[in-house]
Amino acid sequence: MYQPQDTLRFLRHSLMLRYSLLLWVCSFLLALVCLWVRGALLSSMELPLMALLSGAGMALSHWGGMHLKMRPSWKPDVWIDSLALVHGLYWGWQASAGGLCLTLGIAYAVASCIALIPQWRSQLVACLPVLLVPVLANPGLPTQTLVELHLPLMSLILLASWQASNMAYRNLESLIDKRRLTTQLSRHRDQLESIVSRRTSELEAANKRLNDEVYLRQQVNQTLLKSEEQMNMAMAASGIGFWDWDIAGRRVYHSDQQRFFGQVTDVTDYIDLEAWVDVADRALVRRALRAHLKGRTRFYHARYRLHRPDADRPIWLEDSGRVITRDAQGRPLRMVGTRRDISKDMRLQEELRLSSSLFNNSPDGVFVLDASQRLRTCNRVFSQVIGRQKSQLVGNALFDVIRTEQRNRIAQGMVNNGRWQGDIIALRDGHHRFPMRLTLSAIRGTDGRTSHFLGIVRDLTEQQHTALELDYLHNYDKLTGLFNRAYFHQLLKQFETHEPLMSNQYAVAVLNLDRFKAINESLGQDIGDQLLRDVSARLNNLQDPVRSVARLGGDEFALLFDYGGDRQALDNALSAALEEVSRLSLIDEHELIVTASMGVCLVHRDNLHQLLNQAITAMGQARQRGGNKWLYYRQALSDKPAERRQLVADLSAATTTSQLSVDYQPKLNLSTGLIDSVEALVRWQHPERGPIEPEDFLPLAEEAGLIGRISDAVLQRACLDAARWQRQGLGDIAVSVNLSASQVYRSDLYDRVAMALKQSGLEAKYLELEVTEAMLMEDANHAQDFLNQLRSLGVRLTLDDFGTGFTSLNYLKRFPIQTLKIDRSFIQEWRPGESSPVIEAIMAMADSLKMEVVAEGVESREQLSYLKRLGCGHAQGYLISRPLPATELLTLIQHANLPQLYDHANRIH
């Protein structure tokens, strides 16, 4: 029979009572630290509470141990679990506050796992509150902290505590077994003596059998030695050496020491490899070896240079190995591996790298032909000499790439001699003749047959125009390597001197980066310069019909297009240029996305002296419309200074007369089928010129500083009309007004909106203000402030032209935006029977952010049906109605709201 003190349960309870004292003391000390950090050490009631709980735990640990000795059957784990749970709840609550208290809560969990190691259930009771309370608390820890720190760390602690508890359980079992075995051995010592006597005789018989086995093992060892010799011969033949490292004994066995280390004069079992390794490679070898010895990698692998005393230059070695024996603490004891001399391989790699560098960086154009004289590959210089991209050249026959009248003479020389060298006249772009030096050489295989041809070309134009070369060097921009403004002006001057000039052949574009100033000021000029270089490289890599790219200065670039009368090709090239610019740029760990505004001017006989100015004017109009788009220059208003001054005066007078009016474009509520909101759009009826489009006079107003007066007038008129419609019983018709960039940065915007609402009597909830992404991202902090001010009035806020800019989701969550307005370009790109990933993504994002969606530019029933299926809130476009004066709008609303919507084939109004 066993005593109660010899049972596993008694031993576990005894250890729990002994070590739990550590847990209560640790919890109290951690609470002191947490309260001190929070500044509540003397003022909070938590300190007496923790002192009481810790004192109760220490009393339980002390008196419980004495009580357990008197009553071994007593179970103290219920009391310990209860106290551990209370402490755990306290530390879970502290951890939910984050910061150092989170770290102290996790420290309490680790202490509970150590102190309660004999009992997994007690560990779980102590740790679960620390794990769950921060997750369930409101507010709890940020999601990022939960996912990246708290949950993984607590899960790792629970897993480690479970493993430690199992190990402790097994150790206690072993201890009990040892005690019982000791008792049994003492009781049965006499029996063991008789057994030993009997076993002695049996061992004598076994010794005889052992002698026979030893003889057999000797035979086996001889066979193994022979096999080892054969293996060493095979490894020597393959150039591979074997090493066996006794780490604790500092001994290394090398199968072929002399081949790798030369003639070592100091004969020893240990070679300090680090002393032989090249200084530049020691850190690499040390890191690889340390990582494997610490168990971070499965295998040790390193390539390094080694200096032998009998060699003039270092040799390259490649080591691979693995630790095969570790002690109980995981420390490595023995490691084996192989070593190979890779000097020849490294020399071949260096030769290949140098050959590749020579090929790619050669100042001459280099190309390779196959046996049938078709181009296999070429370097960048060859593409530049020929004037075509590499992808356009590969696979073409030699004389389809190099077009020359001397092709027969070259072909004859290649057949007769396998080599040809000389100067020829070649054609570039099908019509431009230029001098070239060409060298062709046949490359023969081992069988003597020609397998490839190597060609070298050099454009001799620069050599023939040495005087012009110096001038040419002054025509490049130092920062980007592009043509500079002076050179681009020279290009444009050629249009004035070359006759005849083909109409609809060329176009000039000016590109300006949106929000570049903000990036340059916030991240520094070095980042801005690198971004300009990145954008320049992308523009310079654009293919046909782009002919030239120049940097005019700052973040402004100019492009010359030879589109050959194909406007669609020109449009595609302009879109491709904007898409290239807007691709993500990674600069010094900064992920930057920048868009651009582009103005385009078509070259014709009447504007040869104004090409750049007209393109810049169109670019400015594109920027004013939100950026990230291109516009053609339109000759709507006069460019003459005197006439423009008169137009500015007329526009100033129009703001105080009835020349400026407001039209309204309805928005259809797709869920009710009613028109419940309209957008206010300004119009100018000039007394002499007639109607002038907003895209023509609004930029003029922006330049003249009149846009603020016009915007205020539109806001006041829209509020008055909307209030009047409600008084006439037309329903709760909301009106939306576009804010201009100048309004956004005015300090009195809040007061002007409030005044317009007060004077009109319109409730704020029926006024909707529209802003663009470009306005918000120009200064995000200011945008957040003025949007919050406007939202406090009760008005609704809409993000116009959404999707054309690059508002991040983080900013979108910060801004108090209630409605997203899908840009018309995405609606026009959609085709019936297909899906639009962009529109559907915007709908999904708006749904997750609890925002409404308005789709503008709806012009067909198919588009309307598709938007209804996606759950879009409102639609706006010519299918519903064109912009109408207030009187016609009232008629539309009175006779509509809108039963004839689905009876009309093409449009509503």
Mean pLDDT along residues 409-419: 80
Share of the chain residues as helix, strand and coil, in percent rounded to the nearest 5:
55, 20, 25
Q: Which amino acid is at 356?
A: S
Band (pLDDT 50/70/90 cuts) for residue 231 is low
DSSP secondary structure code for residue 743 in this structure? H
Q: How far apart (Å, rounded) are the C-alpha atoms in residues 465 and 814? A: 61
Closest by Cα among 790, 775, 770, 805 to 665 = 770
What mean pLDDT comes out for the span 853-860?
A: 90
Q: What is the pLDDT of residue 534?
A: 92
Q: Name the band, by pLDDT with cuts 50, 70 and 90, for residue 735.
A: very high
- Output 805 or 295, whichever has higher pLDDT: 295
Instruction: Report the mean per-residue pLDDT for the chain.
Output: 80
Closest CA to 631 of 614, 611, 612: 614
Alpha-carbon distance 757 to 750, whole Å?
Answer: 11
CB 142 within 8 A of CB 150: no
pLDDT of 710 reads 86
> pLDDT value at position 904?
42
**CA 446 to centroid of chain Cα atoms:** 50
Q: Which residues contact 548 (CB under 8 A, 6 or more apart)?
A: 483, 488, 491, 559, 560
> Can you tell me the distance from the alpha carbon of 393 to that of 469, in angstroms, rounded to the nearest whole number?
28
pLDDT at 471 over 70: no
Strand partners, 378: 367
Averaged pLDDT, 380-385: 85
| pLDDT of the residue at 906 | 45
Does 134 have pLDDT greater than 50? yes
Give 851-889 as a DSSP string.
-EEEEE---SHHHHHHHHHHT-SEEESTTT---B-HHHH
Question: What is the predicted pLDDT for the residue at 468?
Answer: 56
Share of the chain above pLDDT 90, in %: 7
pLDDT category at 653 given cuts 50, 70, 90 is confident
pLDDT band at 852 (very low <50, low <70, confident <90, very high): very high
Most confident stretch, 40-44, 137-141, 155-159, 797-801: 797-801
For strands 590-592 and 852-856, give the pairing: unpaired
Q: Which residues pair with 15 in a beta bridge?
A: none
| Whether the Cβ atoms of residue 708 and residue 740 lie closer than 8 Å to each other | yes
What is the rounded radius of gyration, in angstroms, for the C-alpha atoms of the chain?
A: 42
**Helix-then-strand count for the chain, H and E:** 35, 28
d(CA 57, CA 26) in angstroms, rounded, equals 11
Residue 380's alpha-carbon distances to 46, 387, 543, in angstroms, are 74, 10, 14
**Whether 657 contacts 875, CB under 8 Å:** no
Distance, in Å, from the CA atom of 160 to the CA atom of 124, rounded to the nearest integer, reads: 11
- Residue 192 Cα distances to 2, 201, 578, angstroms: 21, 14, 94
Is the pLDDT confidence value at 898 over 80? Answer: no
Residue 429 has pLDDT above 90, yes or no: no
The end-to-end CA distance of the chain, in Å, is: 102
Least trusted range by pLDDT, from 258-262, 410-414, 724-728, 799-803: 258-262
pLDDT at 387 over 70: yes
| Strand partners of residue 420 | 440
CA 249 to CA 246: how far, in whole Å? Answer: 5
For residue range 54-82, list pLDDT tens digits in order. 777 787 777 877 777 778 777 787 788 78
DSSP conformational letter for 445: -
Q: Which tokens belong to 909?
A: 């109004």
The length of the chain is 909
Residue 375 phi, psi dihedral angles, 5° rounding: -65, 125
Q: What is the pLDDT of residues 316-365, one digit of tens each?
A: 888 889 988 888 888 898 988 888 888 888 888 777 777 667 777 778 88
Q: Which of 43-57, 165-179, 748-762, 797-811 has the highest mean pLDDT?
A: 748-762
Q: What is the pLDDT of residues 169-216, one digit of tens each?
A: 777 777 777 777 777 767 776 666 777 777 777 777 777 777 777 777
Q: Between the CA of residue 31 and those of 34, 36, 85, 158, 679, what are the distances in Å?
A: 5, 8, 16, 22, 61
CA distance 175 to 11: 10
Query: What 3-state DSSP class applies to 560?
Result: strand
Residue 415, Cβ density class (10 Å: 0-12 exposed, 13-18 middle, ≥19 buried):
exposed
Tokens 């005019």 correspond to what residue?
552
Q: Which residue has the tokens 């910060």?
A: 814
Q: Is the pLDDT of residue 260 over 80?
A: no
Residue 267 has pLDDT above 70, yes or no: no
Dihedral in degrees, nearest 10, Cα atoms 871, 874, 876, 879: 60
Residue 767 — pLDDT band, cuts 50, 70, 90? very high
When mean pLDDT is compared over 6-15, 123-132, 664-673, the highest value belongs to 664-673
pTM exceeds cut of 0.75: no
Q: How far apart are CA 901 and CA 880, in angstroms?
A: 8
Q: How far is CA 561 from CA 485, 543, 546, 837, in A?
A: 16, 10, 5, 32
What pLDDT shows up at residue 854? 92
pLDDT at residue 811, rounded to an integer: 65
**Model pLDDT for residues 14-32, shown as the tens digit of each residue:** 777 777 778 888 888 887 8
Write out pLDDT tens, residues 566-625: 888 888 899 899 989 888 888 887 888 888 899 999 888 777 777 888 888 888 878 877
Percent residues over pLDDT 70 in the chain:
88
